Structure 1
Amino acid sequence: MTGLRVGVVLPSFGAGVPGSVAEHARHAEEVGLESVWVGDHLIPVRPFLDSTLVLATAAAVTERIRIGFGVLVLALRPVAWAAKQVATLQQLSGNRVLLGIGTGGSVHGDAAWRAVGVPYRERGRRTDAALAVLPGLVAGEPTAVHDEQVTLSPGAPMPPVLIAGSGAALRRVARYGDEWYPAFSSPDQIAEGVRELTELAAGFGRPTPGVTVNVSVGLGDLDPSLVDAQVRALTDYGMSEDQARRSLVTGSPAQAAERFAELAEAGVGRIVAMPFAGDRFRQRELLAETAELVAK
């Protein structure tokens, strides 16, 4: 099992979240986790800070831990601005960025898309167009954007690209992604996706992308009401109650390590844990214990 990397999602730092961005990021590094991640929302259902600024803060107060978008909704931004932000984060962090990218889902509605003047139905096409030019822009190379030759400076090494989605989105992963970034998927679903990605990537003359998966985690002795509340939250993303309940990783670090091992056997190289229990500091400590068990 050596080689499985374990990261953690930072809290959505809105009202009522105990601890600062800096405190949570430093703690994740101190307990030995591989990466910290933050979601990207313009108009979500709850308060949510800007992802690029959260990651910049995390980078400023840490030295080793990688910083990841989980995931950047690329089509909400002009691609040149997105590239400038990514290149700047690479500069500030010492090239620690993990660039998760998605098209945005329906759970938050289309208010954000209307706010920036981008038709929701065009988000997939615009994401593909942006992915095609993003590496050149980030690297500071002359790149054609909207029939204009654009060169951003200073450039930076293009970070690994992790692309979210399933079904038709796997073609986007195979064409542009270094890794596939599904959420709440079972080992069987992962294994099937890897088989399909292998075929699709071969068609583009590319190697099979790696796999990073989001997992909803609540470790230790939890009140059953916390588990029930998380199941209800996951059903908002289109999962059935049974699927949501089976996707949760709960129990002791030893039990969680067994679940992580099943995902690794299906092809997962990194797990990004999304803690749903109240004490994020304690959850990260238990998650670090799980990571140590997995590494043995």
Structure 2
Amino acid sequence: MTKVGVHLPAFGVDPSAGPAEHARHAEDAGLESVWVGDHLIPGGRPFADSTLVLATAAAATERVRIGFGVMVVALRPVAWAAKQVATLQHLSGDRVLLGVGSGGPAHGDAAWRAVGVPFGERGRRTDAALDVLPALIAGKPATVGGEEVTLAPGATVPPVLIGGGPATLRRVVRYGDEWYAAFSDPAGIAEAAGRLAALAEEHGRPMPRITAGVSVGVGDLPAGLADAQARSLTGYGMSEEQARRSLVTGSPERVAERFAELAAVGVHRIIAMPFPPDRLRQTELLGAVAELLPSGD
């Protein structure tokens, strides 16, 4: 069955329930994973620290996987990032899914200025971090800043999902187990998957799997809510037409059909980012969607 996960609400979005309750609710609904965004100074709603939110989710659950969607590694010293991930692996019982991204322009450059990292260097620094992150997490020697570093306790290296659009595919092939594609429709993913397969063959690497993040509203939606969401997504570099095409809305049956279309072009995991305010109810409905999906992975 295609795996279905859900983003936990950003800080303050749902004052009726905290991350522990939302994570338990997702586990009870039968979803595969829970995810959090990551940034220091986001341009939209504020984010709590992703590692602490995921630690809370891990402590409140037993089965559901916990994912970074995605960790902006270049904002952190890479050894600290590795220490945080390894600790989460131990605390959660190896349930971490490590999404990694370079941080795009949607949130501006305030966070980068705050930590003294030039915004224009974020891609290069992300690659440099990915070069050593697996060894650091595993407790193996790695060279950081010209010094050999070995962290303890080492941990199982989690699956690495590289977030970003088609421009990041070379990074996916070089460093990733999966491509984390956000706000894409089936046609866009199918086109990019062809390029991803060609790059993997060119570099003698196995074809990375594909996880897709989609903006979702299940059930009857208030008038104008989907339109407002489409307009908000244009801040991520999409036209309003592209944003509308990427939205997944409708009854559980209709949403399951849209998810099946993504599965048909090679997506093995779908991360739902609900935009209606009734987040606990949305999680329940996503559980019903997951049960409607065809078997097979």
Q: Which category describes the TM-score, using the shorter chain as reference length?
A: over 0.9
Spell out the pairing of 1:1-296 with structure 2 (5 A cutoff): 3-14=1-12, 17-44=15-42, 45-295=44-294
SS in 2 for 1:107: helix
Partners of 2:13 and 2:182 in 1: CA distance = 26
Deviates more, 1:119-128 or 1:184-193: 184-193
Shift of 1:18: 2.2
Report the residue type matching 1:49 in the other structure.
A
SS in 2 for 1:236: helix
Contact map agreement 2:219 2:249 (CA 8 A) in 1: yes
Give a deviation string over 1:40-64, Cα, whole Å, max 9, x none: 0111132220000000000001000
Q: Unmatched 5+ residue regions in structure 1?
A: none
SS in 1 for 2:236: coil
Shift of 1:66: 0.1
> Please, what TM-score do these two structures have when normalized by structure 1?
0.97
Deviates more, 1:161-170 or 1:77-86: 161-170
Q: Unmatched 5+ residue regions in structure 2?
A: none
Contact map agreement 1:11 1:17 (CA 8 A) in 2: no
Partners of 2:173 and 2:124 in 1: CA distance = 15
Shift of 1:15: 6.8
Partners of 2:15 and 2:228 in 1: CA distance = 18
Deviates more, 1:256-265 or 1:40-49: 40-49
SS in 1 for 2:148: strand
Shift of 1:240: 1.4
SS in 1 for 2:182: coil
Aligned residues: 294
> Please, what TM-score do these two structures have when normalized by structure 2?
0.97
Deviates more, 1:192-201 or 1:76-85: 192-201
Give a deviation string over 1:224-273, Cα, whole Å, max 9, x none: 22112111111111211111112111111100011011100111000000
Report the residue type matching 1:33 in the other structure.
L
Report the residue type matching 2:6 in the other structure.
V
Give a deviation string over 1:97-156, Cα, whole Å, max 9, x none: 000000001111100000000000000000001101111000000111111110000000
SS in 2 for 1:282: helix
SS in 1 for 2:261: helix
Partners of 2:100 and 2:160 in 1: CA distance = 7
Identity %: 70
CA RMSD, 1 decimal: 1.1
Contact map agreement 1:15 1:47 (CA 8 A) in 2: no
